[in-house]
Amino acid sequence: MPVEADSVDSPEVLYAPGTTAIYFTTDDEMYGRVTFEGLDSIRVSRGEYGPYEDDWQEGTAFCWVFKVENSSWLKERYAYESKHYGNAYGFGGDVDEMLTDYSHYLFTFHDQFVEALAAGVWFEKSETPLAGEKYLADHPFHQLNTTNIERFEAHGLVCQARRNLNSEKHLVDAAQYCSQKLIEFAPELDGTATTSITLSLRYRSGKLVSLLSQQFGGQMAEFEGVASLDDARPYIDSWLGEVSERRREMGK
């Protein structure tokens, strides 16, 4: 893990839609925070011992974060979401992502353990308390920097491609924790440019893939490994054609 929790102190878990996090002190007397990508469920329990059998062995590196294999809790939540929300899952998303992208995480502390179902996690560390603070500068949930913009045109519309400035190695390494944005696409419409489609990198069922997804509308394409702008362009151009046609019908 990029951050090690203190083996004695208990965590503080704060729940609020979109900002749920685990706060804790680190093994080197700093402040740590775990945030979640696509959090579905979270629960906190009292106990000094983990609730599941694990493969950690004496004499190996200290381990405080686990993934639960064959999680019955995850299966129960998938069944619930599939039954009640099915085709209306996540603004046009596919409920089966809970089986391919989600994990059952277990965070163990001295006298408490925290469990969560999420598509990913991110670890932060600071010299000052993080409770109530915004994400740190390198957090992958931030929108990409608008200083690195490439423009292209299709169907009479101009679209911005905002690239991630981190190296490919950094993004591949970081994708083991949660999705990493590669490129954000923002069409320039009526004097504004708002991100509508994102090309992101993640591990899906143990395989590194790039996903092209609309902000509201679900996944458009999946590519093996690290995809490029050229890979995404046919899908973006087709989408811009649809946008252009709708605007024409509206008289714009």
Domain end, chosen from 71, 91, 126, is at 126
Domain identity same for 183 and 245? yes
In a domain, 3, yes or no: no
pLDDT, tens only, 8-58? 899 999 998 878 999 999 999 999 999 999 999 999 999 988 899 888 777
Domain identity same for 24 and 57? yes
> What total of structural domains would you count in the chain?
2
Average of per-residue pLDDT values in the chain: 93
* Under 8 Å between Cβ of 78 and 94: no
Domain identity same for 52 and 116? yes
Domain identity same for 45 and 119? yes
pLDDT, tens only, 116-147? 999 999 999 999 999 989 999 999 999 998 88
Task: Reduce the DSSP state of residue 99 to 3 states and report it.
Answer: helix
Task: Outline where DSSP puts E strands in the chain.
Answer: 12-14, 21-25, 31-37, 41-46, 65-67, 103-108, 112-118, 120-126, 149-154, 157-163, 180-189, 192-193, 197-204, 207-214, 218-224
In a domain, 85, yes or no: yes
What is the residue range of 38's domain? Answer: 12-126
In a domain, 32, yes or no: yes
Alpha-helical regions (H) of the chain: 72-84, 97-100, 168-174, 229-249
pLDDT, tens only, 70-105? 999 999 999 999 999 887 777 667 899 999 999 999
